[in-house]
Chains A and B, each alone.
Chain A
Amino acid sequence: MYELTIPLQDLSFLKAGDEVLLSGVIFTARDAAHQRLVNLIKSGEGLPFPIEGAVIYYVGPCPAKPGEVIGSAGPTTSTRMDGLTIPLLEKGLKGMIGKGGRSPEVEKAIQEHGAVYFAAIGGAGAYIAQCIKEVEVIAYPDLGPEAVHRMVVENLPLIVAIDSHGGNIYRAGVAQYRDPSLEEAI
């Protein structure tokens, strides 16, 4: 178990399957926000948050009840962001948090840029919400739950899903546990 604090430094020691507790400032964005961020990059405009060394969490949280920081806030399916991820990695994005596998192109770019893709536990939104200490919408409030939020997290439990050496927990996991008798049975 590694305890990591943002800003993240060299992440080359992390291997797919490692468990991590992450603390610090992260930013949220889903597909709609990604599209706008990529449009800004294309037109040469500045991004609404510093991307160098940043961690983006793919989440659209439930609203906070009165007196609470946030509602349920687990990860969404990452592959929807695949086509919009590489321009952000090229600008210095260091970490992504989501669930499920990534495209071969994104996997390759993660290696090239020394980044890491973390998996949070999908469907554990109430549990994850307890690790979120501050929340502020910093861009695109018109997107509602899909707006860009700045979040302060403390000991957010994550698993390294794709490391910077080509390690991938989804491939390795299935390879390890797939029953060889299955091929004959179907």
Chain B
Amino acid sequence: MRTVDYAQIVETVRDMCLRANSILPKDVEEAIARAHEKEVSPVGRSVLGTMLENAEIARERRMALCQDTGMVVVFADVGQDVHITGGLLSEAINEGVRQGYKDFYFRNSVVRDPLERVNTGDNTPAVVHVNLVEGDRLRLMVAPKGFGSENMSALKMLKPAEGVAGVKKFVVDTVTQAGGNPCPPIVIGVGIGGTMDKAALMAKRALLRPIGERSPKPHIKQLEEELLELVNKTGVGPQGFGGTQTALDVFVETFPTHIAGLPVAVNINCHVARHTEVVL
């Protein structure tokens, strides 16, 4: 059986924290550049130009793109033929986060208890989603998630009769109400179906897709395209100052659901749409 060692996971996650926080993914940077071309609002254009300059400064100086270096969300797809040695996967991930945030001077933004609210001082724990998959590889996806956008996310249990029209209205209303708070142009992850928890998890994972990647399901691909067009008609624009470039992309994931339900989760990501992936 193939093995992956604890120390290798620590080192990998540490480096992924640096990369995710200081280098804007190419697909996101290119999408902002396209939005900059397309935006009709002069203030919006100016804002998008500054965002591109920000990406350049962060990359060159190896500093955080945004001071909200987030709560770290990790998706670990573990091949069922790989054996992790030397310690627990979740502990290795947390140690990688701990070292990465300390070594690269990122902000510690996690509190130990949601009600007592004392900072843990090392940005741990990460939120880790483990998924058992085929093969003998360990696929790690690290996505530090800022809370300006996380706070604007929403979930609703629609009635089945509300159908696709209900989904569209919920997404558009969520984006409109969020206004400038989630730092538009945003990336929108939508999870439809399953149970309440499944919908939320699909919405989160959808945010990891590269900008422009469409769903393989034709009706969902069409829904993604329609949602993007609708959201860009809200007028919210870059930073909520008004404009036509409110979202860089909309990703929809679906799962079978119950005859009585239509869960919809909308997870919003800011323009600093951090996502990075390594396969060990």
B-contacting residues of A (Cβ < 8 Å)?
A: 17, 19, 32, 59-65, 71-74, 76-77, 79, 99-101, 119, 121-127, 129-130, 144-145, 157, 159, 169-170, 172-179, 181-182, 185-186
Q: A170-B179, A174-B235, A177-B242 are in contact. Are A125 and B67 (CB under 8 A)?
A: yes
Q: A62-B105, A72-B65 are in contact. Are A124 and B172 (CB under 8 A)?
A: no
Question: Which residues between 91 and 150 of chain B lie within 8 Å of chain A, taking CB atoms?
Answer: 105-109, 117, 119, 121, 146, 148
Q: Tell whether B54 is near chain A: CB-to-CB under 8 Å.
A: yes
Whether A174 pairs with B239 at a CB distance below 8 angstroms is: no
Q: A123-B51, A173-B235 are in contact. Are A186 and B67 (CB under 8 A)?
A: no
| Contact partners of A145 in chain B: CB under 8 A | 67, 107-109
Assembled-state Cα–Cα distance A19/B61 (Å): 27
| Contact partners of B169 in chain A: CB under 8 A | 186
* A107 → B minimal CB distance (Å): 14
Q: Tell whether B7 is near chain A: CB-to-CB under 8 Å.
A: no
For residue B63, which residue of chain A has the nearest CB? A126
Point out the residue from B64, B108, B121 that lies within 8 Å of A125, measured CB to CB.
B64
Whether A100 pairs with B240 at a CB distance below 8 angstroms is: yes
| Contact partners of B183 in chain A: CB under 8 A | 99, 122-123
For residue B230, which residue of chain A has the nearest CB? A185
| Contact partners of B47 in chain A: CB under 8 A | 121
Whether B64 pairs with A176 at a CB distance below 8 angstroms is: no
| Contact partners of A179 in chain B: CB under 8 A | 233-235
| Contact partners of A169 in chain B: CB under 8 A | 43, 241-242
Chain B interface mostly: loop
Whether B108 pairs with A123 at a CB distance below 8 angstroms is: no
For residue B51, which residue of chain A has the nearest CB? A124
Q: Tell whether B46 is near chain A: CB-to-CB under 8 Å.
A: yes
Assembled-state Cα–Cα distance A178/B235 (Å): 4
| Contact partners of A123 in chain B: CB under 8 A | 51, 54, 65-66, 146, 183, 270-272
Q: A122-B180, A124-B54, A170-B179 are in contact. Are A63 and B233 (CB under 8 A)?
A: no
For residue B65, which residue of chain A has the nearest CB? A126
Assembled-state Cα–Cα distance A76/B70 (Å): 12
Assembled-state Cα–Cα distance A161/B63 (Å): 28
* B195 → A minimal CB distance (Å): 26
Q: A72-B65, A74-B67 are in contact. Are A126 and B240 (CB under 8 A)?
A: no
| Contact partners of B15 in chain A: CB under 8 A | none
Point out the residue from A17, A122, A130 that lies within 8 Å of B57, measured CB to CB.
A130
Please list 17 pairs of residues, one from A and one from B, whose beta carbons are closer than 8 Å in the complex, sorted by A's number. A19-B46, A60-B67, A62-B63, A71-B107, A72-B69, A99-B183, A122-B66, A122-B270, A126-B58, A126-B65, A170-B240, A174-B237, A175-B242, A176-B242, A179-B233, A182-B233, A185-B168
Whether A99 pairs with B148 at a CB distance below 8 angstroms is: yes
